[in-house]
Chains A and B, each alone.
Chain A
């Protein structure tokens, strides 16, 4: 009696439940890569982003703001790349905004199967504005170059005569095959 109940009814219900799980997982795998972009473009349509969101310079001593992406996050300092799990990281071997040269900031494109800090970095184009609040001053940069390089292209972190900002993350999306690099030159400093 018990065996008949198991094989005919309960087992079929368990299989039906498993089928639903399979369908949900398949749907997630197919749709997950598109979900962040859908959210990004919806937000662009619903509300135009303000040009200058980080008003309180005094309160933020190391903050990166990208108006086009509505990105506003603190810049983390540290020697170990593990800090990237908590946010964007200024590479310690590179310059700082107040020292001129090449300031390099990196971030995850995605982390633990979820979109991360620099997910939308590929949407930056030449002329877009990037701001850094650093040590009670605001540094405004304009994007001058976007490029894709191999992971061993260490020249993108080389110092420069002109003050500039370099952001990079992984590309193509969901892989670590190459690096997407955004280079921007300093256009304004507001004390």
Chain B
């Protein structure tokens, strides 16, 4: 595997992990006081 391929995959995994953390937090905060 070329080093550039490895770089792209690793950066993609990092971005995906950050996206999961952001999404989880965002979903929680927007829904917490929905109707109560």
- Give the tally of cross-chain contacts (CB within 8 A): 72
> Is there contact, CB below 8 Å, between B34 and A176?
yes
Q: How long is the Cα–Cα vector from A7 to B11 in the complex, in angstroms?
A: 17
Q: Chain B binding site: helix, strand, loop or mixed by DSSP?
A: helix
> Is there contact, CB below 8 Å, between B14 and A25?
yes
Return the chain B residue nearest A20 by Cβ: B10
Number of A interface residues in the complex (CB < 8 A): 34
Contacts of B21 in A (CB 8 A): 29, 113
Q: A154 at the A/B interface (Cβ < 8 Å)?
A: yes
Which of B3, B17, B31, B35 touches A25 (beta carbons < 8 Å)?
Answer: B17
Contacts of A35 in B (CB 8 A): none
Query: What are 16 pairs between A and B in contact, CB < 8 Å?
Result: A11-B4, A12-B3, A15-B6, A25-B13, A25-B14, A25-B17, A81-B32, A84-B32, A106-B36, A112-B25, A151-B35, A152-B34, A157-B36, A170-B32, A176-B31, A176-B34
